Amino acid sequence: MQSLMNAQQIEPAAAETARAGRRVIIRTLALKKQYVRKNVVTEALRGVDSEIYTGEFISVMGPSGSGKSTYFNMIGGLDSPSSGRVFIDEVDVAQLTAVEIAFLRCRKIGYIFQTYNLIQYQTALENVTTPMAFAGVEPDEARRRGMDLLEIVGLKDRWHHRPIEMSGGQQQRVAIARAMANQPSILLCDEPTANLDLHTGREILEILRELNSKRGVTIICATHDHRMLDICDRLMWIRDGRIERVARRDEVHIEVGAIGGVTA
């Protein structure tokens, strides 16, 4: 009830989603982050209030340096805010112990980066099963689940390849399978298509969309490519450390294939 009330105050589109029976899975309140380096203070986030619902696919837009990665790192528990709060499933992340945060990172949230970040000396399958080992999955079960995930991303027959033997798009597919290793409910995707050509980038987003629609994974995806936006349910614009706007996709005109093709 609390979340529904907040949603109505913040944004009609979010309230509608709440009425459709979805819960808030991520909530941030007055989230701020400052970086201090050589006496220079950067205000990367200047008070971000946001709500993300279970099962939605939200695209986070914003120019380079606007605070997208910082926002993701706060949500993913990779770094802590200077002030403000992050709630995952309505639990305040700041109240968690180190063990609980490790659990959150290992089981609840999968992370996909622009640069894939695979382990170079491991095969595709080993990259996917390594997080399962951290979660205590038996090796045979891990292999079976790893192969299933590689099949979902279309790379089952390349399970033994190392990253250097794969294209960027294939590496990103492995990274998606790895992010799904422990069946997280949330995938944080930080510009996952930025290093890929348009066609390969779309294939990656379509895999993410499929995980979203078939498995109900909540997807939060930073992008600065307007041609990729037709795939999401909602869009969030971040500028200069603040949320500038949030809109449903059907409230925004998107021309696929056009550069700068988004108008309100």
Q: In terms of CB distance, is 36 or 98 closer to ligand ADP?
A: 36
How far apart are CB 188 and ligand ADP at their closest, in Å? 12
Q: In terms of CB distance, is 115 or 122 closer to Mg ion?
A: 115
Q: In terms of CB distance, is 64 or 120 closer to Mg ion?
A: 64
Question: Which of Mg ion, ligand ADP, none lies near 37, with the C-beta cut-off 5 to 8 A by kind?
Answer: ligand ADP
How far apart are CB 77 and ligand ADP at their closest, in Å? 16
What is the 3-state secondary structure of the chain?
CHHHHHHHHHCHHHHHHHHCCCCEEEEEEEEEEEEEECCEEEEEEEEEEEEEECCCEEEEECCCCCCHHHHHHHHCCCCCCCEEEEEECCEEHHHCCHHHHHHHHHHHEEEECCCCCCCCCCCHHHHHHHHHHHCCCCHHHHHHHHHHHHHHCCCHHHCCCCHHHCCHHHHHHHHHHHHCCCCCCEEEEECCCCCCCHHHHHHHHHHHHHHHHHHCCEEEEECCCHHHHHHCCEEEEEECCEEEEEEEHHHCEECCCCCCCEEC
Name the one range near ligand ADP by CB under 6 A: 62-70, 91-99, 112-120, 181-189. Answer: 62-70
Using CB under 6 A as the binding criterion, the count of chain residues that bind ligand ADP stands at 12
How far apart are CB 78 and ligand ADP at their closest, in Å? 11
Q: In terms of CB distance, is 205 or 238 closer to ligand ADP?
A: 238
Establish if 39 lies at the interface with ligand ADP (CB under 6 A). no
How far apart are CB 50 and ligand ADP at their closest, in Å? 15
**Interactions with ligand ADP, residue window 67-126 (CB under 6 A):** 67-70
Q: In terms of CB distance, is 12 or 63 closer to Mg ion?
A: 63
Q: In terms of CB distance, is 18 or 220 closer to Mg ion?
A: 220
For residue 166, how far is the Cα from the chain centroid?
A: 23
Query: What residue ranges bind Mg ion (CB under 5 A)?
Result: 68-69
**Interactions with ligand ADP, residue window 17-36 (CB under 6 A):** 35
Torsion angle of C-alpha atoms 118, 121, 123, 125, degrees rounded to 10: -60
Q: Site residues (CB under 6 A) for ligand ADP? A: 35, 37, 42, 44, 62, 64-70
